[in-house]
Structure 1
């Protein structure tokens, strides 16, 4: 029996107490060294550049290109205006252009009567003088030029201005035959007869002449000479030369 007894290890009373567990030691060590792993700050997110800021550079480049194009265009237009103005100024100083003038020499009424349909038929013969005062400019009178006679905004008759060339400082006399037919002639004839009794009948002679200007050997494009002559005649008797008591003519160019 003495051999079968189990021997248990003796407990040393004077041995030191067991140390804290490994986990406790780790926690204690972390507390002494600083903040624990669980108390560390989370990593800050990366800052992203807004889309507007990202695309600002290409937008500025496009805007700069547009500004350059606008500046170049404006500069070219200004340069073109300066060149045109300088050219026009030089041409004006060299050629010194003047508007041609016209005068009415005589007016003859060949026919003025009422038709059966009560329309008024008129036939006038007008002699006019065209004066080109320019020393270095010739004038080509093109086709479709018209000369017309009006009374109180009613056209009595009209005729064609002949096609011809007028040289430098040239005076040309023209004979133009005018014919026309106006409706409501009875009222118009009565008004003309009443006006004739006063001895002063106002008539308006209008000139519409397409012309081409010749500068030296250069023929420019066509322009219009518009003229307006306010006449006062003493009578409208047929087959008699009418006396022109007053005449006031104005002319201008229409480009």
Structure 2
């Protein structure tokens, strides 16, 4: 046991024990940081700066405030006029389209054809020059053949027609077609009397005799303005006016003699629409 105690004392003597830090025990404990305990700017300084150093007021606007100009009433008038103009234009376009569609349907249903005219015969009842008065009195009786080739269209010839006979640029005589009704696919022969007086006829008579002696025939022109109405079944159109132009060639202009019409070519076209 004595030996064991001696061994323990020797072991404790050889162990290294840490020595206490004398400088650490003599220094005071570290103080906490200033940022945690004390503000960087004193409170009394902040109050004084906020009182003494105020921000300047914002700048005020010295320019006068401009208001937008009021709307002019002319703009509204212009807009209203434009609307009215657009409505009228659209209405006109609609009417044109409707009329065109109606005419197209009528053409497809009735298949209208232009009537044909011809001069079959011409009789001179009077052709007497007057050398004392330098005038010429002429009277013709013209047989006009009118043919309506339409199957479902009839023609009404109205008052106000005019038929005239011309030699070159000189009007010889004139008359009018009678009022009559022509049914579908009908041929009508009309006898039209023409009368007239030519003044300053000496030069015209000399030219006429020269044509007859050199060419053997005399050219005449018959023109007609004919007002008509077309009947489509139970529907009647408005008044139409046609112009007929016929070129004739006859052998002579002697009164009360047989006059042969060697050629007759008539053309018809629409002249006026009422």
Distance 1:89 1:195 in 2: 49
Distance 2:78 2:184 in 1: 57
Which residue does 2:53 correspond to in 1?
A: 33
Q: Secondary structure at the match of 2:254?
A: coil
Matched, 1:48 2:66: yes
| Residues 78-135 of structure 1: CA deviation (Å, up to 9, x unaligned) | 2222211111111111111111111111111111112341111001111111001111
Compared with structure 1, are the counterparts of its residues 48 and 83 closer, same or farther at alpha carbon in structure 2 (3 Å cutoff)? same
Which residue does 1:99 correspond to in 2?
A: 114
Q: Choose which of 228, 235, 242 in structure 2 pairs with 1:218.
A: 235
- TM-score (normalised: structure 2): 0.73
Offset at residue 40 of structure 1 (A):
5.8
Offset at residue 61 of structure 1 (A):
6.6
Q: Secondary structure at the match of 1:196?
A: helix
1:41-190 matches, within 5 Å, as 43-45=60-62, 47-51=65-69, 54-55=70-71, 67-115=82-130, 116-190=132-206
Offset at residue 67 of structure 1 (A):
4.8
Compared with structure 1, are the counterparts of its residues 159 and 74 closer, same or farther at alpha carbon in structure 2 (3 Å cutoff)? closer
Q: Choose which of 240, 243, 246 in structure 2 pairs with 1:229.
A: 246
Offset at residue 43 of structure 1 (A):
2.7
- TM-score (normalised: structure 1): 0.78
Q: What do you get for the CA RMSD once the two structures are aligned?
A: 2.7
Compared with structure 1, are the counterparts of its residues 48 and 221 closer, same or farther at alpha carbon in structure 2 (3 Å cutoff)? same
Compared with structure 1, are the counterparts of its residues 222 and 47 closer, same or farther at alpha carbon in structure 2 (3 Å cutoff)? same
Q: Which has the larger Rg? A: 2
Distance 2:75 2:144 in 1: 69
